[in-house]
Structure 1
Amino acid sequence: MNEISKINDTRKAELLSRQVEHIDIKSFDARPIIDAMDKMSFTSRDLARATGIYNQMLADPDCSIFLVIAGSTSAGGCMDLYAELVRNNMVDGIVATGATVVDMDFFEGLGHKHYQANEIPDDNVLRSLYIDRIYDTYIDEEQLQDCDFTINAIANSLEPKAYSSRAFIREMGKYLVEHGKKENSLVKLAYEHDVPIFCPAFVDSSAGFGLVKHQVDAMKAGKPYLTIDAIADFRELTDIKIAAGSTGLLMIGGGVPKNFIQDTVVCAEILGHEDVEVHKYAVQITVADVRDGACSSSTLKEAASWGKVSTALEQMVFAEAGSVMPLLASDAYHRGLWKDRPVRRWAKLFA
């Protein structure tokens, strides 16, 4: 190894020396804080009301709850939080970005880590060291490429046909059960608890690189290859909405996952289910600004005009989700309303 390589290895190890530690919602009881915030104003009271609505979802025996995730909160320290919601029957289905599912959770399920940036040098320096940056969080690009190639290996092992993202992510969960190195993985726990995960923009992630390689290699060899069927995603998620009846949404961020789950109501109507309920409960935590008219920042009241969400039990919380989700989730965990919830196992609808 030459001297420059040694210096680079030392510098990389220095920058990737402090792991992100994911918050444990069981280790503290947020109920007194949420109760106090309920007597305040501004975002504090919004969060308290949102937490109350989530607890109502948990207490409603007829309500299926969907966790909807966009953004990088998993990399930032909320990964175990989301896993605990699945482990304790606090959510029944998940709609998320490819980054959340693949680049963050599956990535750590393989034994890799996210790191705190103690300093943020020039991003060109980070590139030369194969370090990717998410604000003040680092990822080792070489480890991320291991994630890419693992997705490729899973694809190569499957029958070459069309899969919904849910079906492929289930295979990822099965892989982690057999080969994973982290117990508290959302993808792994969802597989074990039959909680379906949908990723409407699945290839916009490390999965995309692995699947493109799978397809190109198969084409070169003159062999068939698998594909991801986005239409099947929409159909399957709508099937769950029709079967579930009453539903509640706990949404972190916005973007495609938010619109995808809300659109199931409209899709069900198009399919002739005119009696399908709008989403009865809805909470959204976001920092998006409503003034630009973008879909990601559209309020839940706006969604009501499209016939997607009820305005009776909805709450917007304009806050950075990593700061408030631990309080909401800890409060709900310690109130314990999840203990008496029916176990739905919606993934078995497609067995």
Structure 2
Amino acid sequence: MTEATNDTRPNDVRKAELLSTEVEHIDITSFDARPIVDAMKKMSFTSRDLGRATDIYNQMLADKDCTIFLVIAGSTSAGGCMDLYAELLRNNMIDGIVATGASIVDMDFFEGLGHKHYQALDVPHDDVLRSLLIDRIYDTYIDEEQLQHVDHTIFEIAETLEPRPYSSREFIREMGKYLVEHGKKENSLVKLAYEHDVPIFCPAFVDSSAGFGLVKHQVDSVKAGKPYMVLDAIADFRELTEIKIKAGVTGLLMIGGGVPKNFIQDTVVCAEILGHDDVQVHKYAVQITVADVRDGACSSSTLQEAASWGKVNTAIEQMVFAEAGSVMPLLASDAYHRGLWKDRPVRKWGASFD
């Protein structure tokens, strides 16, 4: 064994030890949450809130005129809800997605390329993790070298595209197409969205590994004196508002807050500004969050507060103040096993832009 091998082996072994236990994503089809959700409806506090939120989601599924948007912020995808969201899409339980770039790129697309998230069963000093090229999300690990593979893949996709403006929906569709041809995971939300014509919007798309790859694409193109593709955030807002106008009745299933929450709610106001005075507020709304309302931030603003802006109906809404990873499996399993999705119309809003 050479001296160089002796120098590198301890780090390799330590990294392998830390990245040894994969996060296993929950399968909502494997258990029936209906009995426990029904029991929780008879309780108080967050349990009863979750019971009512589940009822509202089932109302969305039962309303054949309702287009349902899944709205995701935070790290639930990395934490074990990735297959849950994929199951909702596969079974026509959602019609569109608005999410953070991290949820779509750093988590779902990342696993679509064959990489994994790991449980942080041992958490050394974060400077040690940095030296091992391990990124930490609370008690979850990501291999930074694998995340750089995502950066480079985004760059490669951008390099193949005609140099023009793209909405995030258009670019994510190209990512889904890439996974169909080169992916390593069938249960990827990005891949399934491409196959089922379900549009995904990321209004802050470059706040993720996509940003690094797209910056490299732009810089390399400028150096070569060539035109380059760009993301058009205004097109995101316009396209999403077009869906809202055409859809009429809409429901929101929101995990967390942030930009995705405000973006989808603002489509009502945008439609009015475009002259559609008859546009309906979002009829149904559920938000699961741990954000505190007292600081006045939009991420924590209640759905009742959103009603004052003319965005959400106050009659059929529910806030659930809970960590989403602990309650979404119950809500989603309950809805899956009640089966109201089985005769919902298939909308394919993604195909409306072709």
**Could you state the TM-score of these two structures normalised by the residue count of structure 1?**
1.00
Q: Which residue of 2 aligns with 1:99?
A: 102
Deviation at 1:348, TM superposition (A): 1.0
Aligned residue type for 1:66 = F
Which structure 2 residue ranges, 5 or more long, are not aligned? none
- Mapped partners of 1:323, 1:222: distance in 2: 51
Q: Which residue of 1 aligns with 2:352?
A: 349
Cα deviation, 1:17-73, whole Å, max 9, x if unaligned, reads: 000000000000000000000000000000000000000000000000000000000
Q: Which residue of 2 aligns with 1:217?
A: 220
Cα deviation, 1:277-326, whole Å, max 9, x if unaligned, reads: 00000000000000111100000000000000000000000000000000
SS in 2 for 1:284: strand
SS in 2 for 1:19: coil
Q: Which residue of 1 aligns with 2:162?
A: 159
Q: Which residue of 2 aligns with 1:135?
A: 138
- Mapped partners of 1:65, 1:212: distance in 2: 33
Aligned residue type for 2:25 = H
- Mapped partners of 2:85, 2:197: distance in 1: 15
- Mapped partners of 1:262, 1:207: distance in 2: 25
1:186 to 2:152 alignment: no
Cα deviation, 1:177-225, whole Å, max 9, x if unaligned, reads: 0000000000000000000000000000000000000000000000000
Deviation at 1:4, TM superposition (A): 2.4
Q: Which residue of 1 aligns with 2:126?
A: 123
- Mapped partners of 1:229, 1:300: distance in 2: 28
Aligned residue type for 1:350 = F
- Mapped partners of 1:337, 1:265: distance in 2: 27
Identity %: 84
- Correspondence for 2:17 among 14, 19, 24: 14
1:44 to 2:44 alignment: no
- Correspondence for 2:234 among 231, 234, 240: 231
**Could you state the TM-score of these two structures normalised by the residue count of structure 2?**
0.99
- Correspondence for 1:276 among 241, 265, 279: 279
Q: Which residue of 2 aligns with 1:70?
A: 73
1:261 to 2:264 alignment: yes
SS in 2 for 1:112: coil
Deviation at 1:2, TM superposition (A): 3.1
* Paired residues, number: 351
Structure 1 runs (4+) deviating above 2 angstroms are: none
- Mapped partners of 1:18, 1:329: distance in 2: 25
Over aligned residues, Cα RMSD in angstroms? Answer: 0.4
Deviation at 1:9, TM superposition (A): 0.3
